[in-house]
Amino acid sequence: MDILFVRELKVDTRIGIYDWERQVKQTVLIDLEIAADTHAAAQSDKVEQTINYQTVCQRLVSHISASEVELVETLAEQIADIIRGEFAARWVQVTVHKPAAVRGTRDVGVRIERGKD
Ligand SMILES: Nc1nc2c(c(=O)[nH]1)N=C([C@H](O)[C@@H](O)CO)CN2
């Protein structure tokens, strides 16, 4: 299986468990690995025969910027559901980074895999 990937999709969203985090938007960074059979698209040179990663990014920006979840786990699960449900991906790996959320770290977050590899 081939992999389409996205690195560091940057979105501002309301996320976090503390009172102050409910008042502001913070930046999250999203990494994706999406299983796809790219052979047909490569043969035809037509994006319609694969998963359009720009469309995926636009859909996720729309969802994440409007979301108000507390946990990075919840956001990652929602992203995996969108990619598998709306883009027919068999397997996806989603990483949600929350930069500088914990003092002394560069970032914290979660990485999940859903579907069959
Ligand atoms: N497993 C998790 N732990 C924590 C989360 C989270 O989303 N998942 N979130 C927080 C706070 O919101 C933190 O990011 C800000 O200080 C703490 N622990």
Domains of the chain, residue spans: 2-115
pLDDT single digits (tens) 67-104 = 999 999 999 999 999 999 999 999 999 999 999 899 99
Q: What is the pTM of this model?
A: 0.97
DSSP symbols for 73-88: HHHHHHHHHHHHHHS-
d(CA 112, CA 83): 13
Output the ligand 1 site: residues, CB below 6 A. 16-18, 21, 71-73, 98, 101-102
Q: Which atom of ligand 1 is closest in space to residue 21's alpha carbon? A: 12
- Write down the pLDDT at residue 17: 98
pLDDT of residue 117 exceeding 90, the answer is: no
**CATH architecture of the region 2-115:** 2-Layer Sandwich (3.30)
pLDDT of residue 39 exceeding 80, the answer is: yes
CA of 29 to the centre of ligand 1 (A): 15
Q: If pLDDT is split at 50, 70 and 90, which confidence band does 49 have?
A: very high
* Structure ipTM: 0.96
In sequence order, the 6+-apart residues with CB closer than 8 A to the CB of 37 are 1, 2, 50
Mean local confidence (pLDDT), 10-26:
97
Residue nearest to atom 5 of ligand 1 (CA): 71
pLDDT of residue 18 exceeding 80, the answer is: yes
- Write down the pLDDT at residue 100: 85
Question: What is the average pLDDT score of the chain?
Answer: 97
